């Protein structure tokens, strides 16, 4: 499989010390990739580096051969939802989807077509609500953010803690969506989570971060959940 | 006991606010600013008596002051409407603690009494009362008058909260104010002697003091009851949800690729509290010319006319533009990880500013009343604004890096972040630029040459538009990470 994301000697330090230090990490195209770790392990830092929201102290990340901190060419095929600061609070869900569609050269009709697929997922609480995103519940905001990442046929989708704040039904639906993305559309999906059960179910590969370093790199099997639970029990 | 606890919480909130994390120089500047306003109020309080005495020698100056107090009441109401914050304490965590609701609410209401808007009148009326006593007015009666005025000031304070940002009331107040001032200015009808009777009675009659006293107590009680009834998580504590408004913005599609951002900006401005405030402010800029063009002293100093002309049409352009890209700070990470080209982004903001300036220019046509010279100057000022000022403002905005909470109104005199040496430096070319561009040809040739050169400077700016935009774009790129981290800081 060809590699789409390639990490080399990546590290990020603040005054207080190193928060991330990954020597090498390759993620092949179409893989569903899970990142787990306790608070402060460096998950969000890694995603922020991948999205060029912060500068690495050393090393670099290549996204489809493009060094993310040097060129912006990775943006058209990469989409992400990290937190609420990726939503525009004063827009309605539809307006937000169309806005993202405009940025990603996707017509209104194409966006509508995509949204139709997620009717189940939205559970009638997102579209035609005449409500601004800032007035939606946390869970519903998350649904909007996640679906917006799928607009414009991205090749890399980055989701930080997508399962948090979602109700059980939506969690199950989201797992299905992520699985289909990587297996049918060959989209590379990067997911971080605190929920070991969800990641083991969804991801083909799981990397455990601890204090900024990769401590485990597992291809998911039946035994994975047990292994992870044992590790975190320490 | 509880009051003491509350006070200590408030103190911590105050001590740990971002204000104290500023540099020393800014603190000193802020302090000087506060002192400036305070001393102006004190000086006005001392001076107002003598001003009236010398300008209208045959009438009782105190009575005249009382006549004009109606303008203070209306003006104060209007000012508080869009400057004063509603009393918010973090009451959500208090709801579950064993504290009497009564004491929380009382504390909350008393806290509002210490706002800047209640202290400023004090600084004005105390010296005035002292002057009156020294001038031989009856001390006891002056004291009664002072208590009445104080009660009225606090009544305005509490009334403001009951009205709770009611737009209709605000516009009625503004309309009344404008009508009274206008009618008086054109000698049609003068309201002041009638309202003056009321304010005068506090001194002349004395016992009418019960009226304002009763009013302030009544309003306090009413506020109390209102808060008490809404003291639930789904009541006063919860932020108000705004009704969804939709406009057909398809006509903006003619701007092609810029339309995406333009449409978004129009929604941003119309659906959020802070930009709406800026919109009202920039409208007030239109009236700046009245201050300058009506004064004869400036007739011989056309440089100041040039400055005023720039200000009249530049309100929106400057107040909106200095906060680009801060307007998008709430979702800046999205903008930075999406497929957004800086050039389109900047160009759309520039277009919006230019449109704002053009609208201001159309609204400024009544200035023809002051002569075609003045109007030509305003036109030249508008040209300077669109062609040069816009780019200077955008450049300054990129250095601003203040996160904005879109749906929160700016607190009066608390926008410390926007107040830094860089901003002062950027303000210089905005203010001195048009004056200088006008002055040199005016001195060398004549008045008309000054106007023509000022107008041409704007055209020149337009010719170099893409160059200027490129310059700002480079600044954006250079400061990208700084801006992202500044915008994601919690306030």
What's the rounded mean pLDDT across residues B243-249? 72
Pairing mode, strands A205-210 and A17-28: unpaired
Instruction: Assign B490 a pLDDT band (cuts: 50, 70, 90).
Output: low
Which residue is closest to B481 within chain A, CA to CA?
Answer: A54
Q: Which residues of A touch B336 (CB under 8 A)?
A: 51-53
What's the rounded mean pLDDT across residues B96-105? 78
A90: tokens are: 């004063």
Q: Mark whether B172 and B295 lie in a shared domain.
A: no
Which residue ranges form the domains of chain A, and what is each CATH number? 3-233 (3.40.50.300)
Is A108's Cβ below 8 Å from some Cβ in B?
no
pLDDT in the model for residue B459: 94
pLDDT in the model for residue B412: 47
Distance separating the N- and C-terminal Cα atoms of chain A: 35
Q: Does the structure show a pLDDT above 60 at B19?
A: no
Q: Mark whether B41 and B164 lie in a shared domain.
A: yes
Q: Mark whether B429 and B479 lie in a shared domain.
A: yes
Q: Mark whether B162 and B279 lie in a shared domain.
A: no
Chain pair A-B, CB pairs under 8 angstroms: 74
pLDDT in the model for residue B226: 81
Q: Does the structure show a pLDDT above 80 at A150?
A: yes
Q: Which residues of A touch B264 (CB under 8 A)?
A: 88, 91, 99
Instruction: Assign B241 a pLDDT band (cuts: 50, 70, 90).
Output: low
Cβ-defined contact of A85 to B332 (cutoff 8 Å) = yes
Kindly state whether residue B412 falls inside one of the protein's structural domains: yes
Whether B191 and B70 have beta carbons less than 8 Å apart is answered as yes
Q: Mark whether B81 and B206 lie in a shared domain.
A: yes
Among A84-88, B55-59, B199-203, B341-345, the range with the most confident prediction by mean pLDDT is A84-88
Kindly state whether residue B464 falls inside one of the protein's structural domains: yes
pLDDT in the model for residue A51: 93
Residue B491 or residue B410, greater confidence: B410
| Residues 6 or more apart whose Cβ sits within 8 Å of residue B475 | B395, B398, B399
Q: Mark whether B292 and B151 lie in a shared domain.
A: no
Q: Give the gap in angstroms from C-alpha B244 to the nearest C-alpha of chain A.
A: 6
Q: Mark whether B225 and B324 lie in a shared domain.
A: no
Phi, psi of A51 (to 5 degrees): -95, 5
Q: Mark whether B197 and B275 lie in a shared domain.
A: no
Among A28-42, B7-21, B232-246, the range with the most confident prediction by mean pLDDT is A28-42
Q: Give the gap in angstroms from C-alpha A149 to the nearest C-alpha of chain B.
A: 10
d(CA A70, CA A62): 10
Exposure on the CB side of residue B474, measured as CA atoms within 13 A: 5
pLDDT in the model for residue B416: 46
Residue A55 or residue B166, greater confidence: A55
pLDDT in the model for residue B287: 87
B89-93, B233-237, B281-285 — which is least confidently predicted? B233-237
pLDDT in the model for residue B409: 67
Q: Mark whether B204 and B336 lie in a shared domain.
A: no
Beta strands in chain A (DSSP E): 3-14, 17-28, 32-36, 58-63, 66-67, 78-81, 156-160, 188-192, 205-210, 213-219
Kindly state whether residue B241 falls inside one of the protein's structural domains: no
Q: Which residues of B touch A92 (CB under 8 A)?
A: 244
Q: Coil, helix or strand for B379?
A: helix
pLDDT in the model for residue B48: 86
Give the end of a domain, one of B200, B229, B258: B229
Q: Does the structure show a pLDDT above 60 at B70?
A: yes
Q: Mark whether B204 and B266 lie in a shared domain.
A: no
Kindly state whether residue B271 falls inside one of the protein's structural domains: yes
d(CA B202, CA B215): 14
Kindly state whether residue B261 falls inside one of the protein's structural domains: yes
Instruction: Assign A114 a pLDDT band (cuts: 50, 70, 90).
Output: very high
Q: Mark whether B24 and B109 lie in a shared domain.
A: yes
Kindly state whether residue B234 falls inside one of the protein's structural domains: no
What's the rounded mean pLDDT across residues A56-74? 92
| Sheet arrangement for strand A17-28 | A17-28, A3-14, A58-63, A66-67
What's the rounded mean pLDDT across residues B124-136? 89
What's the rounded mean pLDDT across residues B160-165? 72
Range of the domain at B436: 250-487
State how many domains chain B has.
2
Question: What is the per-residue pLDDT across A185-205, written as a single tens digit (0 to 9) for each?
Answer: 889 999 999 989 999 999 999
A26-40, B151-165, B234-248 — which is least confidently predicted? B234-248
Kindly state whether residue B238 falls inside one of the protein's structural domains: no
Question: What is the per-residue pLDDT across A173-188, written as a single tens digit (0 to 9) for each?
Answer: 999 999 999 888 889 9
Residue B196 or residue A108, greater confidence: A108
Q: Does the structure show a pLDDT above 80 at A9?
A: yes
C-alpha distances in Å from residue B305, one per residue of A195, B10, B235, B376, B436: 67, 46, 51, 11, 12
Q: Give the gap in angstroms from C-alpha B257 to the nearest C-alpha of chain A.
A: 9
Kindly state whether residue B235 falls inside one of the protein's structural domains: no
What's the rounded mean pLDDT across residues B205-209? 84
What's the rounded mean pLDDT across residues B447-469? 92
Residue B270 or residue B423, greater confidence: B270
Contacting A residues, span 16-35, partner chain B, CB-CB under 8 Å: none
Question: What is the per-residue pLDDT across B324-375, written as a single tens digit (0 to 9) for each?
Answer: 888 999 999 999 988 888 888 999 999 999 999 999 999 999 999 888 888 9
| Sheet arrangement for strand A213-219 | A78-81, A156-160, A188-192, A32-36, A205-210, A213-219
Q: Mark whether B21 and B157 lie in a shared domain.
A: yes
Question: What is the per-residue pLDDT across B368-401, written as a single tens digit (0 to 9) for each?
Answer: 988 888 899 999 999 999 999 999 999 988 888 8
């Amino acid at each position: 499989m060809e590699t789409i994301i390639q990490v080399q000697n990546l590290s990020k330090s603040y005054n207080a010390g190193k928060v991330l230090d990954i020597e090498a990490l390759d993620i092949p195209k179409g893989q569903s990739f899970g990142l787990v770790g306790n608070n402060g392990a460096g998950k969000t830092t890694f995603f922020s580096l991948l999205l060029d929201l912060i500068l690495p102290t050393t090393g670099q990340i290549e996204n489809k051969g493009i060094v993310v901190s040097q060129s912006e060419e990775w943006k058209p095929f990469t989409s992400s939802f990290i937190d609420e600061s990726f939503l525009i609070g004063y827009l309605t869900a539809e307006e937000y989807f169309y806005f993202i569609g405009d940025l990603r050269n996707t017509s209104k009709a194409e966006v509508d077509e995509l949204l139709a697929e997620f009717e189940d997922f939205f559970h009638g609480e997102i579209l035609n609500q005449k409500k601004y995103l800032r007035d939606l519940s946390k869970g519903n905001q998350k649904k909007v953010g996640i679906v917006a990442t799928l607009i414009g046929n991205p090749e890399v989708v980055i989701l930080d803690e997508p399962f948090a704040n979602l109700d059980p039904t939506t969690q199950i639906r989201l797992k299905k969506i992520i699985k289909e993305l990587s297996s049918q559309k060959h989209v590379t999906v990067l997911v971080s989570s605190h929920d070991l059960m969800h990641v083991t179910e969804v991801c083909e590969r799981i990397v455990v971060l601890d204090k900024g370093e990769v401590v485990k790199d597992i291809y998911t099997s039946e035994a994975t959940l047990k292994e992870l639970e044992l590790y975190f029990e320490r | 006991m509880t009051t003491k606890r509350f006070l200590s919480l408030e103190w911590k909130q105050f001590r740990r606010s971002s204000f104290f994390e500023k540099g020393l120089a800014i603190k000193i500047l802020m302090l000087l600013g506060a002192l400036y306003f305070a001393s102006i109020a004190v000086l006005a309080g001392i001076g107002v008596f003598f001003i009236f005495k010398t300008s209208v020698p045959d009438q009782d100056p105190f009575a005249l002051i009382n006549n004009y107090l109606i303008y203070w009441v209306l003006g104060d109401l209007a000012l508080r409407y869009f400057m004063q914050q509603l009393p918010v304490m973090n009451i959500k965590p208090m709801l579950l603690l064993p504290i009497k609701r009564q004491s929380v609410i009382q504390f909350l209401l008393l806290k509002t009494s210490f706002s800047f808007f209640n202290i400023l009148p004090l600084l004005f009326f105390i010296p005035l009362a002292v002057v009156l006593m020294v001038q031989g007015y009856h001390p006891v009666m002056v004291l009664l008058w002072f208590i009445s005025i104080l009660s009225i000031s606090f009544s305005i304070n509490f009334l403001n909260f009951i009205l709770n940002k009611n737009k209709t009331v605000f516009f009625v107040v503004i309309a009344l104010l404008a009508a009274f001032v206008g009618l008086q200015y054109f000698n049609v009808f003068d309201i002041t002697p009638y309202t003056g009777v009321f304010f005068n009675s506090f001194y002349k009659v004395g016992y009418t003091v019960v009226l304002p006293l009763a009013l302030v107590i009544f309003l306090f009680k009413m506020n109390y009851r209102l808060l008490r009834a809404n003291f639930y998580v789904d009541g006063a504590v919860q932020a108000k949800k705004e009704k969804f408004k939709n406009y057909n913005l398809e006509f903006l599609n003619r701007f092609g690729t810029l339309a995406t951002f333009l449409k978004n900006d129009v929604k941003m401005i119309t659906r959020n509290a802070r930009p709406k405030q800026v919109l009202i402010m920039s409208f007030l800029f239109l009236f700046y010319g009245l201050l300058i063009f009506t004064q004869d002293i400036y007739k011989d100093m056309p440089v100041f006319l040039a400055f005023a002309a720039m200000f009249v049409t530049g309100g929106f352009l400057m107040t909106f533009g200095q906060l680009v890209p801060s307007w998008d700070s709430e979702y800046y990470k999205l903008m930075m990880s999406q497929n957004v080209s800086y050039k389109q982004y900047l160009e759309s903001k520039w277009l919006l500013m230019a449109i704002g300036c053009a609208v201001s220019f159309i609204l400024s046509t009544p200035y023809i009343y002051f002569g075609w010279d003045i109007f030509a100057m305003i036109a030249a000022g508008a040209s300077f604004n669109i062609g040069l000022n816009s780019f200077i403002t955008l450049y300054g905005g990129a250095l601003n890096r203040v996160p904005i909470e879109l749906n929160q109104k700016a607190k009066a005199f608390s926008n410390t972040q926007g107040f830094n040496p860089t901003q002062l430096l950027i303000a210089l070319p905005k203010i001195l630029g048009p004056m200088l561009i006008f002055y040199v040809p005016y001195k060398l040739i004549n008045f008309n040459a000054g106007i023509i050169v000022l107008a041409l400077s704007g055209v020149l700016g337009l010719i170099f538009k893409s160059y200027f935009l490129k310059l700002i774009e480079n600044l954006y790129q250079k400061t990208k990470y700084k801006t992202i981290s500044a915008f994601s800081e919690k306030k």
